[in-house]
């Protein structure tokens, strides 16, 4: 656990970066510090690895004051992902990733073996190992940065706006990869971002900070959306707040209509769900196709019970027959959901589930 106890930071010019911060970050959790420029989020994170020293208060890791730990020893046990990857331009990808293991005393061959494992973990092709950073795309460089931070298997990972320098499509890919990776490795991750959508999508808990480093709210993403603590937090999440909250409700409890039996032509009539529409299932190609009254054919979206209500609503609105299929046993669609099935969430939101 990482604990901030009444931590403040005032710089020599009098700038107050962090004010009386009390925060507990559970082991194995993903915590995001979010807020506008000048709110002290990066300063707070950098106090965890002693790159910044607090003016007052203490930072503890598993109950031990980090001021009592040698700075080098502390930092070797904490992974750090920078905004622009921060790779050494004169070293290959493999040797960049092997850096910390070499500092820890591993031989070059041992360190490189660990580096290969880390590259594989973040989904980078082994063929990139002998390239130099300048030969990589921005997204590839960030993956190398994550691999380097994880290569020595540190219990804590700090991420300083790691995806802000890449384009939106790559950013979404990297966010999805980090979510998947965290589900496997369960590190204690502390990430800084100014993007509230990124915070909502990644964090187990979010610490919302205001200028001067004042903590405004520390809660789950759904609680932030449905129960903002004050006007400052509300101003961060006000846009599309209700729609965003639908991302935290799944289709697990949504009433779905079972698919009927196919006719002699192999097509399944949808009846009152979508009069005149038919469903064609091709088990060999594992595809599903809507067929309209005029013969129009459209690929059907298929979701799982674990998918979000927001994803279902988007799929229903994009569907020509206003339906989305739900996957059942043996990876075969067994039912469908329409707008009426999602209506309870649209009428009442997900506040009661926060």
User: Residues 45-91: pLDDT tens digits?
Assistant: 999 999 999 999 999 999 999 999 999 889 888 998 887 777 888 98
Dig out the tokens for 183 from the structure: 């589900």
Look up residue 69 and give its two tokens.
């730990």
SS (H, E, C) 303-351: ECCCCEHHHHHHHHHHCCCCEEEEECHHHCEEEEEEHHHHHHHHHHCCH
| Per-residue model confidence (pLDDT) at position 68 | 95
Question: What interhelical angle do 168-185 and 138-150 show, nearest 10?
Answer: 20
Query: Going along 188-263, which residue ranges are E strands?
Result: 188-193, 205-210, 214-219, 257-258
Cα pseudo-dihedral 57, 187, 310, 320, rounded to 10: 150
Q: How far apart are CA 52 and CA 62, in angstroms?
A: 19
Residues of the chain short of pLDDT 70, as ranges, are 284-285, 348-354
User: How far is Cα 205 from Cα 30, in angstroms, rounded to an integer?
Assistant: 7
pLDDT for res 352: 45
The angle subtended at Cα 70 by Cα 5 and Cα 186, nearest 5°, is 65
pLDDT of residue 348: 65
Collect all residues with Cβ–Cβ distance below 8 Å to 330 and sequence separation of at least 6. Answer: none
Both structure tokens of 21: 């911060």
- The structural domains of the chain, ordered by start, are 2-248 (3.40.50.300), 251-352 (3.10.580)
Number of C-beta neighbours around residue 286 at 10 A: 10
Reported as a single tens digit per residue, the pLDDT across 319-349 is 999 999 999 877 888 899 999 999 888 776 6
Please give the full DSSP string across 275-304, using - where no structure is assigned. Answer: TT-EEEEETTTTEEEEE-TTS-EEEPPEE-
């Amino acid at each position: 656990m990482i604990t901030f106890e009444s931590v403040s930071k005032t710089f020599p010019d009098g700038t107050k970066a962090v004010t009386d911060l009390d925060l507990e970050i559970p082991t194995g959790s993903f915590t995001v510090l979010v807020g506008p420029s000048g709110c002290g989020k990066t300063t707070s994170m950098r106090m965890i690895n002693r790159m910044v020293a607090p003016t007052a208060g203490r930072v503890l890791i598993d109950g031990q004051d980090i001021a009592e730990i040698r700075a080098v020893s502390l930092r070797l046990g904490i992974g750090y992902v920078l905004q622009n990857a921060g790779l050494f331009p004169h070293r290959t990808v493999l040797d960049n990733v092997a850096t910390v293991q070499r500092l820890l005393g591993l031989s070059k061959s041992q360190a490189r073996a660990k580096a290969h494992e880390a590259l594989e973990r973040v989904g980078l092709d082994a063929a990139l190992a002998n390239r130099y950073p300048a030969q990589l795309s921005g997204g590839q460089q960030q993956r190398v940065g994550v691999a380097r931070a994880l290569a020595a298997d540190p219990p804590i990972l700090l991420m300083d706006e790691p995806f802000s320098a890449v384009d939106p499509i790559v950013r979404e890919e990297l966010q999805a990869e980090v979510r998947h990776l965290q589900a496997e490795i369960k590190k204690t991750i502390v990430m800084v971002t100014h993007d509230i959508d990124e915070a909502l999508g990644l964090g187990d808990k979010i610490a919302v900070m205001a200028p001067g480093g004042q903590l405004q709210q520390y809660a789950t993403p759904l609680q932030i959306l449905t129960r903002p603590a004050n006007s400052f937090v509300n101003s961060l999440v006000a846009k599309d707040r209700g729609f965003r909250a639908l991302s935290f409700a799944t289709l697990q409890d949504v009433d779905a209509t079972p698919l009927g039996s196919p006719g002699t032509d192999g097509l399944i009539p949808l009846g009152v769900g979508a009069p005149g529409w038919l469903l064609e299932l091709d088990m060999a190609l594992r595809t599903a196709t809507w067929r309209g009254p005029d013969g129009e054919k459209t690929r059907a979206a298929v979701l799982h019970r674990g998918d979000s209500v927001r994803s279902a609503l988007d799929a229903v609105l994009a569907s020509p027959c206003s339906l989305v299929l739900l996957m059942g046993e043996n990876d075969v669609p067994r039912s469908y959901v329409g707008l009426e099935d999602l209506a309870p969430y649209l009428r009442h939101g997900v506040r009661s589930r926060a």
